[in-house]
């Protein structure tokens, strides 16, 4: 490549920084636009490396991360103008993913000045020239990209106070303080005796219990320690083998059922849902919870105190993070992710992570770095968070399960916030709503696309 | 009669004994919904678009969907009939061969790892992905999976990008190939 300085020049002065820019372009518009720039003899910097893909719809966020991981200084993603897609809607799908992906990068403190999105048609050779020139110049000024694998600057992570002072308002443990425990046991006994279900997935004193005999229903409890989202057990093969289940859910857990049903993972008719009216468990998620009452359960037990949260309160935990400048935010996450040992507990407890083979285990090609290094950890957490875009129901199980105490819910929350602000979408609230990823709207905002 | 010649850009004056004004034509109401249903492109006025006016006339962006008549552009009856014959011939070509020839760049799904979330099914612009079941030779149900209909797939790769486990892949633009490209570029 011509961007490497000659040996003679290198001897005289320190080698000038030549940015490396990776461009992912679609075959039908931007690639032809770049081709036109060439055939009309337009000059543009040779710093851009073009990767041709059939359509912007094919461009996966993993590719962008990969490009940075292996040393790109900027990434350009470009395709057909809206309405011009050769495949009619690939660019609309891409646009929606980019909106969410940019929000995630923003929450991580990633320098958004290094990721460019453009629409360049086959006739816009000049635009291609301008865009490449501009990106090269800007990147040259910004210098080489190092943030994804820089060592965290000490101290910044510790200054971020996310939990409210004095901790969350918890209640003293007192078994049976909430009504409904006796009714729950009675309902389960009835279901098991009548043979309507083969197993009840519920809360026990020390964790989840799987009750298969009517005489064991005394193991079930219902109190303010019933925090876990039990829907995660529905995907387990050994639980499925037990037969038709009844599952105990709170209003918030029920949202997971809605998403799972939408994604064809469960058949609602093949289970009995015991909805428990909840009074809040004193967790961070409970402070802004507005689904105390299960809405789609087969039967609802107990009585909830009604205090729907204000919408603004939902993003309260994000305020401290979003108030940080970009560089400090990146530093915060670098400090946090440094502790990550890649145990994948966050994945195992997530009701939404049900793939038989997780992408991180795919090795031909290795999509994300599997080692617990700075690069690998960033890639993993970006992957995990983005796969939950428009799907995370905010049960915060990942955060509770993390042995390193990484506040993973902040990433999930930022995407949930983006989904609500950009698309008016909340995962698991409306069984009839289209999925967020996999659908698109002509009205999706594109003010960031040139 | 005075008017403007749009080709030369100058005014023209024609002396005529009778002037017949052609009424303006516009596409039928609801053509957008129809076009979206069949995944056929349309222009800003609502007229349906051919794949390529010279190289692939009467064909559309969706395989197996052909257009003819005034839905494509204002035209008279002889023109519509000619185009209809062309479309009919294209259909006959499809039926006359015992095998359908398609582009080789189509998506395929690794049914072993497919989690059957069917996000790809919703995202596919061509409705080329369907739900399928894997059964043993004796008919015992093993699992559900997404499956690509190779006759409908146009190879855009939208399914690959939305697939969470990357069970979908696109021949000719496989993950392996693209990652090798990225790795060797920088």
Show the tokens assigned to A98: 């980019």
Q: Which fold has domain B107-173?
A: Alpha-Beta Plaits (3.30.70)
Q: Region B147-158: what's the mean pLDDT? A: 91
- For residue B35, what pLDDT band results from cuts at 50, 70 and 90? confident
Interface contact A237, partner B, CB < 8 A: no
Q: Is A11 exposed, middle or buried (0-12, 13-18, 19+ CB in 10 A)?
A: exposed
ipTM of the modeled complex: 0.85
B181: which chain A residues are within 8 Å (Cβ-Cβ)?
51
* HSE-CB of B134 using CA atoms within 13 angstroms: 14
Task: Quick: pLDDT tens for B38-82.
Answer: 888 888 888 998 888 888 899 988 888 999 999 999 999 999 999
Cα distances (angstroms) measured from residue A404 to each of A182, A206, A249: 37, 22, 28
* Spatial distance between the Cα atoms of A306 and A440, rounded to a whole number of angstroms: 35
pLDDT at A5 over 60: no
The percent of residues above 90 in pLDDT, for chain A, comes to 55
Q: Which of residues 47-66 of A touch B (CB under 8 A)?
A: 49, 51, 53-55, 57-60, 63, 66
- A72: nearest CA partner in chain B: B186
Q: How far is B98 from chain A (nearest CA, A)?
A: 27
- The verdict on a CB contact (< 8 Å) between B173 and A356 is no
Phi, psi of B124 (to 5 degrees): -60, 120
Bond from prior residue into A446 cis (ω within 30 degrees of 0):
no
What count of other Cβ atoms lies within 10 Å of the Cβ of residue A106?
Answer: 16
B159 within 8 A of A46, measured Cβ to Cβ: no
Q: How far is B147 from chain A (nearest CA, A)?
A: 15
Sign of CA dihedral A155, A156, A159, A160: negative
- A235: nearest CA partner in chain B: B115
Task: Quick: pLDDT tens for B112-135.
Answer: 999 999 999 999 988 899 999 999
What count of other Cβ atoms lies within 10 Å of the Cβ of residue B25?
Answer: 11
pLDDT at A305: 67
Task: Quick: pLDDT tens for A49-93.
Answer: 999 999 999 998 999 998 988 889 999 999 999 888 888 889 999
pLDDT at A12: 53
- The verdict on a CB contact (< 8 Å) between A365 and B155 is no
B105 within 8 A of B155, measured Cβ to Cβ: yes
Nearest to B125 among A63, A88, A364 (CB): A88
B155 within 8 A of A54, measured Cβ to Cβ: yes
3-state secondary structure A211-234: ECCHHHHHHCCCCCCCCCCHHHHH
Interface contact A354, partner B, CB < 8 A: yes
pTM assigned to the model: 0.86
Interface contact A433, partner B, CB < 8 A: no
pLDDT at A98 over 50: yes
Task: Quick: pLDDT tens for A180-218.
Answer: 888 999 999 999 999 999 999 999 988 899 999 999 999
Cα distances (angstroms) measured from residue B129 to each of B33, B116, B146, B159: 21, 11, 6, 9
A436: nearest Cα among A278, A306, A259, A223: A259
State the DSSP H helix or E strand holding residue A119, giving kind and residue range, or none if neither: strand A115-119
Which residues of B touch chain A, with CB atoms under 8 Å apart? 39-41, 61, 105, 112-120, 122-123, 125-126, 131, 144, 154-158, 160-162, 164-167, 170, 173, 175-176, 178-183, 185-186
Contact pairs from chain A to chain B, CB under 8 Å: 132
Sign of CA dihedral A62, A134, A448, A323: positive
Domain boundaries, chain B: 39-101, 107-173
**Interacting residues of B64 by C-beta distance below 8 A, sequence separation 6+:** B94, B151, B152
Bridge partners for A299 per DSSP: A274
Task: Quick: pLDDT tens for A351-389.
Answer: 999 998 899 988 888 888 888 888 889 899 999 999 999
3-state secondary structure chain B: CEEECCCCCCEEECCCCCCCCCCCCCCCCCHHHHHHHHCCCECCCCCECCCECCCECCECCCCCCECCCCCCCCCCHHHHHHHHHHHHHHHHHHHHCCCCCCCCCCEEECCCCCCCCCHHHHHCCCCCEEEEEEECCCCCEEEEEEEECCCCCCCCCHHHHHCCCCCEEECCCCHHHHHHHHHHHC
Nearest to B165 among A87, A264, A358 (CB): A358
Task: Quick: pLDDT tens for A279-338.
Answer: 777 777 887 888 888 999 999 988 776 666 666 678 888 888 888 888 888 888 988 898
pLDDT at A95: 94
- The verdict on a CB contact (< 8 Å) between B119 and A88 is no
- Most B CBs within 10 Å, among A67, A87, A364, to test the B interface: A87
Task: Quick: pLDDT tens for B97-108.
Answer: 888 888 889 999
A365: which chain B residues are within 8 Å (Cβ-Cβ)?
175-176, 179-180
B170: which chain A residues are within 8 Å (Cβ-Cβ)?
54, 58
Q: How far is A100 from chain B (nearest CA, A)?
A: 13
Q: Region A91-106: what's the mean pLDDT? A: 94
pLDDT at A156 over 90: no
Nearest to B161 among A57, A89, A354 (CB): A57
- The verdict on a CB contact (< 8 Å) between B182 and A438 is no
A84 within 8 A of A121, measured Cβ to Cβ: yes
Show the tokens assigned to A326: 């970009």
pLDDT at A319: 86
Q: How far is B184 from chain A (nearest CA, A)?
A: 9
Q: A261-265, A309-313, B14-18: lowest mean pLDDT where?
A: A309-313
B103: which chain A residues are within 8 Å (Cβ-Cβ)?
none
* Spatial distance between the Cα atoms of A418 and A446, rounded to a whole number of angstroms: 14
- The verdict on a CB contact (< 8 Å) between B186 and A51 is no
The percent of residues above 70 in pLDDT, for chain A, comes to 88
A412 within 8 A of A398, measured Cβ to Cβ: yes
State the DSSP H helix or E strand holding residue B147, giving kind and residue range, or none if neither: strand B141-148
- For residue A151, what pLDDT band results from cuts at 50, 70 and 90? low
B182: which chain A residues are within 8 Å (Cβ-Cβ)?
22, 51, 63, 66-67, 70
A277 within 8 A of A180, measured Cβ to Cβ: yes
Q: Region A211-230: what's the mean pLDDT? A: 90
Nearest to B186 among A67, A86, A364 (CB): A67
pLDDT at A160: 57
pLDDT at A14: 55
**Interacting residues of B34 by C-beta distance below 8 A, sequence separation 6+:** none
Which runs of E-coded beta strand occur in B79-119? Answer: 107-109
| Residue the block writes with tokens 């905002």 | A445
- Give alpha helix (H) positions in A44-180: 61-69, 90-107, 125-142, 156-159
Q: What is the mean pLDDT of chain B?
A: 90
- For residue A116, what pLDDT band results from cuts at 50, 70 and 90? very high
Q: How far is A383 from chain B (nearest CA, A)?
A: 9
């Amino acid at each position: 490549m011509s961007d490497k300085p000659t040996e003679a020049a290198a001897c005289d002065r320190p080698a000038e920084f030549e940015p490396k820019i990776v461009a992912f372009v679609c075959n039908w518009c931007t690639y032809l636009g770049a081709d036109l720039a060439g055939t009309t003899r337009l000059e543009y910097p040779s710093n851009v490396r073009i990767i041709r893909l059939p359509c912007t719809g094919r461009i996966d966020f993993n590719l962008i991360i990969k490009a940075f991981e292996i040393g790109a200084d900027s990434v350009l993603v470009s395709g057909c103008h809206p309405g011009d897609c050769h495949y009619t809607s690939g660019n609309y799908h891409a646009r929606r993913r980019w909106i969410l992906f940019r929000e995630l990068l923003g929450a991580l403190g990633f320098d958004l000045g290094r990721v460019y999105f453009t629409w360049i048609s086959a006739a816009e050779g000049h635009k291609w020239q301008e865009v490449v020139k501009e990106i090269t110049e800007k990147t040259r000024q910004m210098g080489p990209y190092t943030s994804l694998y820089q060592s965290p600057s000490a101290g910044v992570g510790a200054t971020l106070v996310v939990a409210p002072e004095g901790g969350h308002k918890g209640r003293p443990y007192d078994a049976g303080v909430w009504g409904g425990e006796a009714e729950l046991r009675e309902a389960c006994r009835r279901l098991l005796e009548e043979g309507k279900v083969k197993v009840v997935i519920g809360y026990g004193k020390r964790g989840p219990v799987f009750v298969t005999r009517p005489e064991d229903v005394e193991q079930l409890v219902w109190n303010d320690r019933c925090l876990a989202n039990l829907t995660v057990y529905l995907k387990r093969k050994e639980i499925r083998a037990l037969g038709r289940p009844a599952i105990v859910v709170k209003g918030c857990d029920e949202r997971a059922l809605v998403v799972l049903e939408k994604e064809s993972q469960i058949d609602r008719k093949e289970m009995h849902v015991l909805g428990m009216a909840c009074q809040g468990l004193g967790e961070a998620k409970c402070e802004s919870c507005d689904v105390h009452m299960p809405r789609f359960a087969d039967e609802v037990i107990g009585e909830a105190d009604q205090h729907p949260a204000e919408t603004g309160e939902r993003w309260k935990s994000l305020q401290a993070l979003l108030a940080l400048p970009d560089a400090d935010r990146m530093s915060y996450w670098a400090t946090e992710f440094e502790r990550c040992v890649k145990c994948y507990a966050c994945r195992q407890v997530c009701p939404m992570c049900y793939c038989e083979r997780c992408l991180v285990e795919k090795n031909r090609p290795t999509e994300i770095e599997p080692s617990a290094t700075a690069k690998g950890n960033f890639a993993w957490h970006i992957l995990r968070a983005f796969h939950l875009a428009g799907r995370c129901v905010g049960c915060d199980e990942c955060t509770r399960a993390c042995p390193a105490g990484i506040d993973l819910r902040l990433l999930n929350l930022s995407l949930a916030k983006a989904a609500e602000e950009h698309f008016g979408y909340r995962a698991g609230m409306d069984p009839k709503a289209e999925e967020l990823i996999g659908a698109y709207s002509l009205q999706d905002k594109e003010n960031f696309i040139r | 009669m005075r008017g403007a010649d749009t080709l030369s850009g100058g005014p023209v004056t024609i002396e005529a004994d009778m002037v017949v004004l052609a009424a303006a034509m516009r596409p039928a109401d609801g053509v957008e919904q129809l076009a979206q249903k069949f995944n056929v492109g349309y222009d800003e006025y609502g007229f349906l678009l051919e794949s390529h006016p010279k190289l692939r006339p009467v064909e559309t962006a969706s395989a197996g969907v052909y257009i003819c008549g005034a839905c494509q552009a204002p035209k008279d009856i002889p023109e519509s009939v000619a185009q209809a014959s062309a479309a009919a011939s294209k259909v006959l070509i499809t039926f006359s061969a015992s095998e359908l020839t398609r582009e080789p760049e189509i998506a395929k799904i690794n049914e072993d790892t497919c989690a059957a979330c069917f996000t790809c099914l919703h995202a596919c612009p061509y409705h080329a992905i369907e739900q399928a079941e894997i059964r043993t030779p004796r008919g015992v149900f093993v699992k559900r999976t997404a499956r690509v209909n190779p006759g409908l797939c146009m190879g855009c790769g939208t399914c690959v990008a939305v697939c969470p486990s990357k069970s979908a892949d696109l021949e000719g633009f496989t993950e392996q190939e693209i990652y090798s490209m990225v790795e060797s570029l920088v």
